[in-house]
Structure 1
Amino acid sequence: MKMKAILNKLFLLSFVLLSYGLKAQERPNVILILADDMGLADFSSTNGGLNRTPVLDRLRAEGVWFEQAYSGSAVCAPARASLLTGKYPHRTGVVSLTMKTEPEVTSLKTNEVTMADIFKANGYQTALVGKWHLGILPPFHPMRRGFDHSVDFLGFNLKTYYDFKLDENGTFKQYTGHYLDDVLTDHALDYIETNKARPFFLHLAYSAPHRPLGGPEVLIDHYLKKGFDEKTAKVYAMLEAMDKGIGRVLHKLEDLGIDQNTLVIFASDNGQDPGVGPRFNLDMKGHKYLVYEGGIHIPLLFHWPGHLEAGTTLDIAHFTDILPTLAELCQLEVQPKVSRDMDGASLVNSLQGKANDDLPDARFWQWNRHEPYYSHNAAVRKEHWKLVRPVADSLMEYSSVIDAPSKLAPQLFNMDSDASESTDLSEQYPQKVTELMDLLEQWDKSVEKDRLKDVDFVDGQLKKKLQEKTTEPKK
């Protein structure tokens, strides 16, 4: 009897383990691809064929395209903080850009739970391949932010796209004569091959088309011959090279037979960089650094063969929605407080073509260098109305630090009839201006209160408890 009981227990245990294993394998892999300074108009399918992005155009045609998708910020670091936490960037402590000179406002708070943390806690293998812009000091290293595996670079260490160093799990390696985004693709393919039999989360953060400009000469020559100026030719060449890399990733998934079980998401961190000169931008106002559409309205698509039907949704999506969406799609367990603290909501109903009444009523943005002044460069969108508090300093995006409140009047736009934000309706609709200003001021107070909590720096210096953790992460 005892032997029979033991055998029954062993059988039951084996069944449970087998069932768990099957469920684990059925959970989708997730590849989150991010471009750097790629505008909405940089897809060939949105610009009438000015450049070549056949892979991205295919993903758009076969996947779910968000026609009204927004970044979490008009610039890189805050946008990435928002993407990885599901929160407005101010709450995470990341509000500026320059990690070397202002780490206290560019480092993701150590108490923040990241997307990688959540995937890892749910049994996923996790990896970052590409750009890291959320802290330069050791406590903020990606391998301390939930990534088991990290092949990353810091933007300011990038001399050229053919001369750079990568931090490979804590050890730096010099690359010369190899194109950066091609090398990132190579590392991504190796990671997929290694983890093909178990669920993985891969954040593939390309550098293109961020400065310093540079791409394969054959592609640059192609666009020069089409009549584009040198900077635009380089940007389009960089985008095409990235597109080819994404194609290699998709082919790898297909070759391994895991494409049906891999969700691919593509987005850009913000709009086009004015520092590389103007190019076609769908008549959107503004650019990177500004909270007009040209700075925050970005491409966003989800591609999951056999699970998501192709289509376009007009629901307003925001970077804060990506993490809640993945938690639902991948059935991830998230601590209740972490879930409650997220500012976004799941896009699953939107992905399935259903009404999505759970999305936030209003979305918010604000950015200036160093500590935030909420009267400058701030915006709120509710339904088809968007209110903008314009920046008072036109040079803010490059070097200026704002040190006084703005006295400029807010602007009001109807996004349904005026997507180019060309007609200010604030005088015609003063009540709407008051309503949206009230919402924006309530948001300002909320995120600033959180920004000042649980800080890791005092007077610009890392707290002593974190200074004790300055050794490099374990390999």
Structure 2
Amino acid sequence: MKRLALLLLALCPSLYAAEKPNILVIVADDLGYADIGVHGGKVVPTPNIDALAASGVRCTNGYVTAPYCSPSRAGFLTGKAQTRFGHEFNPHVGDEAKLGLPLDQRTIANVLHDEGYATALIGKWHQGFDAAHHPQSRGFDEFFGFLVGGHNYLLHKDAEPEFGSAHSHDMIYRGRELQHLDGYATDLFTDEALGFMGRNAAKPWFLYLAYNAVHTPLEIADRVKDRIPADVTDENRRGYLSLLLALDDDIGRITAELKAKHPNTLVFFFSDNGGSGRKPFFAYNTGVNTPLRGDKGQTLEGGIRVPFFVSWPGKLPAGKTYDHPVSTLDILPTACAITAAKQPAGVEGVNLLPHLKGEVSTPPHDMLAWRFGPQKAIREGNWKLVDVRDMEAKTQSGWKLYDLSTDIGEEHDLSAAKPEIVAKLSKAWAEWNAKNIAPQWHGAINEDPTAPAKPAAKAGKAKKK
């Protein structure tokens, strides 16, 4: 029987693909919660992002594990709070042999690769720079993108690449080789994603499509500039809206391809953190997070609650909302559940499918907690306890308590009226935090307000690998 099964797979490999679904994770970068149509955004249309949300389940309380790019992605990739293994800040400064997602952590790509999936990362990595931390050393068969925290959009093959910065310029890699490209980054990443899907139609695939849109720099492509509303005069906001328009266009290209050729695909979409609407602030992009308070870099809702959609045609209901809190921690265990893959030790997320299908009525999580330097937060039910940092004043708020069922904007502090809840949740946060470890590195001064300023990384050393 085993020989017969192997013979059938050899003669018709698409049989194998039919057994296991493709898995696509699309990540936007610094996307404002309120800037997309499905969340009430009206400045520019986002029909394709909205259609993706409508094709499946829109999680109204979807969370990332950190309010910043690299630690948030480390949480998703491992299914664990990144503070468990010291990946608390962006990896900019330090020993590059240790700087990045720790090598003892298995990624979702490792897990699915071992299950026979073709695996690819297209776009932003931001999990380390040396050879050992490269995506193709972390479970990805293919890599096309950039290694650091941000990248320009308007690429020029004759431009001189810029090394040694948190933002790279004209430094797109295919595998480990630097490319010399003309074009627009969002479009090029989409082209590459479509090519990967097509090349692997005969076997199941996992694609992590990590767009850099709508992160700075706020460069405007010619193809979208005429669609930016004329009454928007702020140049930063115009640049942001251009990135959003192009992102929506390209998500439309991806979803059209899925519908036509890859219908058995489980799709997750989320932003790595909230929009960056504070000035002055690193990567300020004018993103709007209302009705949420706060934004990128804060453990307020605006920094950690994000657009979060899950779509799987024929397997998940379409046009549904799900209101219990869910987390990007849940993506890896959900993938393990549908592929029968072995879950790595220590995974903290849960399989979301029974919850999203309505088969389980209880919430996926009793509580969710966060630590980002001096900032802290915990959510249990509708109660949110948060201690946030004012980045400009460099002051701490102390514990503040909010009832998110009536106060999504975290405007009415109930800590004085509900001391027993403050005591309960602060104790629960401390118990959760006891399992964390110290940061393995500190980010730049504007990422970790408690860290001393440190010199910039040496130019060009590891980024060329």
**TM superposition score category, shorter chain reference:** 0.7 to 0.9
Once the two structures are overlaid, the 10-residue window that deviates more, 107-116 or 40-49, is 40-49
Q: Secondary structure at the match of 1:272?
A: coil
| Secondary structure in 2 matching 1:165 | coil
Alignment partner of 2:207: what SS? strand
- The equivalent of 1:354 in structure 2 is 359
Structure 2 vs 1, CA of residues 81 and 279 (structure 1 numbering), >3 Å: closer, same or farther?
A: closer
Separation (CA, whole Å) in 2 of partners of 1:108 and 1:282: 32
Judge conservation of contact 2:299–2:376 (CA < 8 Å) in 1. Answer: yes
Which of 143, 146, 150 is residue 136 of structure 2 equivalent to? 143
Supply the distance in 2 between the matched residues of 1:431 and 1:389 (Cα, whole angstroms).
Answer: 17
Q: Once structures 1 and 2 are overlaid, which stretch shifts more, 131-140 or 224-233?
A: 224-233
Give distance in 1, aligned partners of 2:270 and 2:178.
28
Q: Deviations over 1:212-256 (max 9, x none)?
A: 11132352343241335221121111111011111111222334x
- 1:32 aligned partner, one-letter code: V
More deviation, 75-84/408-417: 408-417
**Structure 1 gap segments, 5+ residues each:** 1-10, 369-375, 397-405, 453-469
**1:73 alignment partner in structure 2:** 66
- Bigger shift: 430-439 or 352-361? 352-361
Cα distance in 2 for partners of 1:445, 1:12 equals: 48
Instruction: Say if 2:205 is the partner of 1:234.
Output: no
Output the CA distance in 2 between the equivalents of 1:64 and 1:285. 24
**Partners of 2:63 and 2:305 within 8 A in 1:** yes
Could you say what the CA RMSD is over the residues aligned between the two structures, in angstroms? 2.4
User: Hey, what does 2:378 align to over in structure 1?
Assistant: 380
User: Equivalent residues in 2 for 1:219-368 (5 A)?
Assistant: 219-255=224-260, 257-258=261-262, 260-273=263-276, 274=278, 275=281, 276=284, 278=286, 280-310=288-318, 311-328=320-337, 330-335=338-343, 338-339=344-345, 341-357=346-362, 359-368=364-373
Tell which has more relative contact order, 1 or 2 (C-alpha 8 A, sep 6+): 2
Alignment check: 8 A CA contact 1:287 1:295 kept: yes
Q: Residues 69-468 of structure 1 correspond to what in structure 2 (within 5 A)?
A: 69-101=62-94, 103=96, 106-155=99-148, 158-163=151-156, 164-176=170-182, 178-255=183-260, 257-258=261-262, 260-273=263-276, 274=278, 275=281, 276=284, 278=286, 280-310=288-318, 311-328=320-337, 330-335=338-343, 338-339=344-345, 341-357=346-362, 359-368=364-373, 376-391=374-389, 393-394=391-392, 408-448=397-437
Contact (CA 8 Å) 2:57, 2:309: kept in 1 or not?
Answer: yes
Secondary structure of the 1:84 match is helix
Shift of 1:122: 0.5
Contact 1:138 1:471 in 2 (8 A): no
SS in 1 for 2:398: coil
Q: Distance in 2 between matches of 1:203 and 1:281?
A: 25
CA distance in 2: counterparts of 1:308 and 1:62, whole angstroms:
9
Q: Cα distance, 1:94 vs. partner?
A: 1.4
Q: Secondary structure at the match of 1:446?
A: coil
List per-residue Cα deviations over 1:121-177 (Å, max 9, x = no partner).
Answer: 10100000000111112110000100011112034573453342211111110223x
Flag the 1:204–1:408 CA change in 2: closer, same or farther, 3 A: closer
1:14 aligns with 2:14: no
CA distance in 2, matches of 1:440, 1:87: 16
* Cα shift at 1:110: 0.4
Task: State the shift of 1:279 in Å.
Answer: 5.0
Instruction: Map Cα deviations across residues 346-387 of structure 1 (whole Å, 9 max, x no partner).
Output: 11122202334372311011213xxxxxxx211000000000
The runs of 4+ residues in structure 1 deviating greater than 4 Å are 100-106, 470-473
Cα distance in structure 1, aligned partners of 2:6 and 2:303: 50
| Aligned-partner Cα distance in 1 for 2:463–2:216 | 31
TM superposition score normalised by structure 2: 0.85
Structure 1 residues 358 and 103: CA distance shift in structure 2, 3 A: farther
- TM-superposed deviation, 1:52: 1.6
User: SS at the partner of 1:209?
Assistant: coil
Q: Give the helix-richer structure, 1 or 2.
A: 1
Give me the whole-angstrom Cα distance separating, in 2, the residues matched to 1:286 and 1:471.
33
Which letter does structure 2 place at the counterpart of 1:267?
A: F
Q: How far apart are the structure 2 equivalents of 1:240 and 1:105?
A: 38
1:237/1:408 Cα in 2 relative to 1: closer, same or farther (>3 Å)?
closer
Select the structure of larger CA radius of gyration: 1
8 Å contact from structure 1 (residues 133, 155) kept in 2:
yes
Q: How many equivalent residue pairs?
A: 422
Give the TM-score normalised by the residue count of structure 1. 0.83
